[in-house]
Structure 1
Amino acid sequence: MHKKALSAMLRERRALISPESHGLARPTGQGRRAPGLSQQQVDLLLNRAIHTYHRLESGTYHNPPVGLLREVAQLFRFDEQEWVSLCRYARDEDPPGPLRPSAGKEIPGMWQEAVEGILHPAYITDASWDMLACNSPFTEMVPDGRVPGNMMRFMLLDPDGRAILSDWETAWAPLLVPQLRAALVARPDDTVLRGIEREVLADPLAGPLYEAGGAVIHPDGDERPIRHVKLGPGWLRMCAAQPLASPGARLIILMYQQGPRQDGAPAIRSGRTWAGLPPA
């Protein structure tokens, strides 16, 4: 627990919530000068026992339950990044899932221009793997330039997807199904993901692989074989990142190498030189 950061964060945000906005009177007791809700009013609004919120804000509530943190975050109108910070300050861990079901379903419009400026094939999907943005090099590597509506469904179930993903049963599918399973753990009520899961379980090839499980939850740094529609067989080196304002969304950059697999670039560490100059 990070008491100082937790207390400052909660106290600042509590001060922004007016009691009147929740049908409560502003406390007028002796010495009461602080703006916003009182700690007792927070307990009242959350239907919690007296002093529950005081223990949280003061840092004396060790390992508070995620349910309490979620209720506080929703009452204080936290965004997704603030929700992550709250869980880290209070429990020393990331939250088990997003604060709101709508999280990860959209990105700022500037991301389309950013993706178009990437030289390699690149795309962004939302938290359900629905396509949000892609560039022209990406459309050139898929059959007929047809942009998939959902990348997970395309890679696991679409015949065109299976055709261009070389060695699909060994090099692709066993690494995809754990990502779907992990996403459902974090977003169990996501109807798109549940629909894909049902289709996968009903599929004679993908179903057994899904049932077998696996531990891979992201493709960052992977190298996998592919049949590029225009350039032929080769390998993809994959970079994965997340737009910070949209937890669960994914930016995927696919660096294509024609022909046989080649050694990848070494890991990047601080202290490297730039253009022959020593580090500052």
Structure 2
Amino acid sequence: MNKTALRALLRERRALIAPESHGFIRSTGQGRRAPGLSQHQVDQLLHRTLGTYHRLESGNYPNPPASLLRDVARLFGLNEQEWMSLCRYALLQDPPGPLHLSSGKEIPGVWQEAVDGVRHMAYVTDASWDMLAYNEAFTRMFPDSQVPANVMRWMVLDPVGRAHLLDWSTAWAPMVLPQLRGALASRPEDETLRQIEKEVMADPETAPYYGAGRPFPHPDGDERPLMHAELGPGWVTMCAAQPLTAPGARLMILVFHPGTQRSHPRAPMLRSP
């Protein structure tokens, strides 16, 4: 626990909330003059035992439950970046999930210009794998340039997707489906992800892979066989990143090498000298 940073964050945000906005009456006589809600009032609003919030803000609450942190974050109106800071200061780890279900569903509009400037195939999806932005190079990967509305559904359920993801049953499905399970672990109320999971479990080809319980593999740097609509068969190396304003969203840059054999050399790891 980083007590100093935790205390500073919580004090600053608590001071911004007028007690009157939550039905409290500020005393006009002698007494408390500090701005914002009192620690006691925070306990009242969160329906917690008196002294709970004081323990948190003072850094004397080791391993506070995520439910308490989430309630405090929502009461104080924290954004996703502040929510991440709160969890790191209090728990020394990233949040168990987004603060708001709407988080991860939108990105700044400049991302379209950014992906347009990428030479390789590039696209951005939201936290549910719904398409947000893509470049012209990416459209050429698909027959008739028909970019799928949801990349996860295309990869695991669409027959066209399975045909273009070569060696689908060994190189793609076992790697992609655990990503769906991992996303649902942090976003259990996401209706789009839940619907895809339902379809996956009902499909005899995908259900065994999904039920296998394999660990979540990140695609960053992975290389897999792919059929390009214009360039034919080849190998695609994936570069994955996340827009920081949209937890769960993902930027994918796909570096494609034509050929049935993996003949190109793999780039070495980049390290600071």
Report the TM-score when normalising by structure 2: 0.97
Change (3 A) 1:95 1:18: same
* Partner Cα distance (2:129, 2:265) in 1: 29
Residue 268 (structure 2) aligns with: 266
Aligned length: 271
Structure 1 counterpart of 2:93, one-letter code: E
Matched, 1:185 2:182: no
Structure 1 counterpart of 2:3, one-letter code: K
Give the SS at the match of 1:49.
Answer: coil
Change (3 A) 1:222 1:193: same
The runs of 5 or more residues in structure 1 that have no matched partner are 272-280
Structure 1 counterpart of 2:70, one-letter code: R
Note the C-alpha offset of 1:202: 1.2
Residue 242 (structure 1) aligns with: 242
User: What's the Cα RMSD here?
Assistant: 1.1
Note the C-alpha offset of 1:206: 1.0
- Range moving further from structure 2, 36-45 or 258-267: 258-267
Give the SS at the match of 2:103.
Answer: coil
Residue 23 (structure 2) aligns with: 23
* Partner Cα distance (1:49, 1:29) in 2: 27
Structure 1 counterpart of 2:232, one-letter code: G
- For residues 46-125 of structure 1, the aligned pairs below 5 Å read 46-125=46-125
Residue 204 (structure 2) aligns with: 204
* Partner Cα distance (1:5, 1:140) in 2: 48
Note the C-alpha offset of 1:215: 1.1
Note the C-alpha offset of 1:217: 3.6
CA distances 1:217-249 after superposition (whole Å, capped 9, x unpaired): 421010001111100111001000000000000
Residue 154 (structure 1) aligns with: 154
Matched, 1:135 2:139: no
* Partner Cα distance (2:216, 2:92) in 1: 23
CA contact (8 A) 1:143 1:160 kept: no
Give the SS at the match of 1:36.
Answer: coil
CA contact (8 A) 1:148 1:154 kept: yes
Percent sequence identity over aligned pairs: 66
* Partner Cα distance (2:11, 2:29) in 1: 19
Residue 274 (structure 1) aligns with: none
Kindly report structure 1 stretches of 4+ aligned residues shifted beyond 4 Å.
27-31
Note the C-alpha offset of 1:31: 5.5
* Partner Cα distance (2:85, 2:217) in 1: 22
Matched, 1:38 2:29: no
Give the SS at the match of 2:200.
Answer: helix
* Partner Cα distance (1:161, 1:180) in 2: 16
The runs of 5 or more residues in structure 2 that have no matched partner are none
Residue 6 (structure 2) aligns with: 6
